[in-house]
Amino acid sequence: MLKNSDAGATKIPLIILKLVVLAFFLATCYLLLATVSYAGHLEPFKSVPIPGKNPQTPEKIELGKKLFFDRRLSGDGTMSCATCHNPEQAFTDGLDIALSYPTTKNWRNAPTLINAAFFKKLFHDGRVQTLEDQALFPLMSAFEMNQNLDFVEEELRVIPEYREAFKKIFGGEVTRERIAMAIAAFERTLISVNSPLDKYLKGDKNALSGDAKKGLRIFEDKGCLGCHHGVNLSDDKFHALNVPENPALLNEPRVTATMRFVAKVYHYKDYRSLKEDPGRYLITKNKNDWKAFRTPTLREVSKTGPYMHNGVFTTLEDVIEFFNQGGGKGNKALKPLGLTADEKKYLKTFLVEALAGEEIKIKYPAIP
């Protein structure tokens, strides 16, 4: 009897131990699956994130729209925000590198403002974290709008309509901070909605064509979701893909001058010998960020070329082939995809058809 009792007492802990091990295994699997899901699933559009310090109002949005199109915001009165972010070109300018202030030359591509509200870091190098901060950079930039912020404040304060609008909306006078808040409020209305992908993710399985569905499966199976996921199809991170330099810019003295000027501003020691864009490294000084750039949104991607930070790729076919080859020479972030001609075609169909939302209609404002 004693032996039987001992045997039963031994079996109970073993059973408990097995159950504990099984529970641990299941919990680990759940956490791994949850991590994979978080890092790589697509989401339909639901709402726009609005900061508590800058709530949206119709009046503020309308003021921001007027400022967005007002050329007074540039030093010589020839440029507005819409010069490089043209509504007719998906809020880009359709050029390899952005338009620039007269006699100067920009050095990077103008990213679309569509869905910029979803990014937590702005610009190709992520130098700012809010649309409010972003709005003032081009105004001040010597090679963009080249405006003095003290001067533009006074310039707008003498215009009765602006003076009254700022007092009504903000309870005070025109300031650079309020200019930025109004422009940011307008930019948060530039959202891609009701795309075929949104409808498909909400349950309408007929929203995508057969070829677009094949492209979606390739997009998922080949690892594109690793960086292009969520509502905005972007991980909001920075990756060094070793994108090739744009040959058209390599020997352009004004581009070199702009690049070295920016590097100097960000305290890059060897700025005078710089011959390539350091990317996010200028901001972080982390060697892992050398030539790293933010993952762009893929919303409306068929309308926002040329592509990459320097506009080196003219077509989506160029971009797909770049990734198919495993990115630029020597990069550690990508591996060759081995896509067939048909798979490339299906992938492009997905990018073109599934990610195009309703037209963003802009009624151009009357500038005071």
Q: What is the mean pLDDT of the chain?
A: 91
For residue 16, the model assigns a pLDDT of: 58
Task: Work out the percent of the chain whose per-residue pLDDT is above 70.
Answer: 89
308: burial class by Cβ within 10 Å (0-12, 13-18, 19+)?
buried
Angle in degrees, CA 308, 332, 318, rounded to 5: 30
Q: Average pLDDT for residues 16-30, to the nearest whole number?
A: 52
DSSP bridge pairs for 286: none
Q: Whole-angstrom Cα distance, residue 86 to residue 70?
A: 13
Q: Residues 327, 333: contact at Cβ < 8 Å?
A: yes
Q: Average pLDDT for residues 11-21, to the nearest whole number?
A: 55
Q: Average pLDDT for residues 335-347, to the nearest whole number?
A: 97
Q: For the chain, which domains are there?
A: 58-187 (1.10.760.10), 196-246+285-354 (1.10.760.10)
DSSP three-state, residue 238: strand
Confidence category of residue 250, pLDDT binned at 50, 70, 90 = confident
More confident residue, 297 or 18: 297
Does 257 score more than 80 pLDDT? yes
For residue 358, the model assigns a pLDDT of: 96
Residue ranges with strand state E in the chain: 238-239, 293-294
Does 54 score more than 60 pLDDT? yes
Q: Whole-angstrom Cα distance, residue 26 to residue 68?
A: 53
Q: State the number of CA atoms in the 13 A half-sphere of 367 facing the CB.
A: 10
Confidence category of residue 9, pLDDT binned at 50, 70, 90 = very low
Confidence category of residue 14, pLDDT binned at 50, 70, 90 = low
Please count the residues of the chain.
368
Does 183 score more than 50 pLDDT? yes
> Three-state SS across 164-208?
HHHHHHHCCCCCHHHHHHHHHHHHCCCCCCCCHHHHHHCCCCCCC
Does 12 score more than 90 pLDDT? no
DSSP three-state, residue 313: strand
DSSP 80: -
Q: Average pLDDT for residues 61-79, to the nearest whole number?
A: 97
Q: Which of 27-31, 55-59, 84-88, 93-97 has the lowest mean pLDDT?
A: 27-31
Q: Residues 166, 178: contact at Cβ < 8 Å?
A: yes
DSSP three-state, residue 277: coil
13: which 2 tokens? 């802990």
Q: Whole-angstrom Cα distance, residue 45 to residue 37?
A: 17
Q: Whole-angstrom Cα distance, residue 39 to residue 43?
A: 12
Does 28 score more than 50 pLDDT? no
168: burial class by Cβ within 10 Å (0-12, 13-18, 19+)?
exposed
Confidence category of residue 60, pLDDT binned at 50, 70, 90 = very high
pLDDT tens, 261-287? 999 999 999 999 999 999 999 999 999
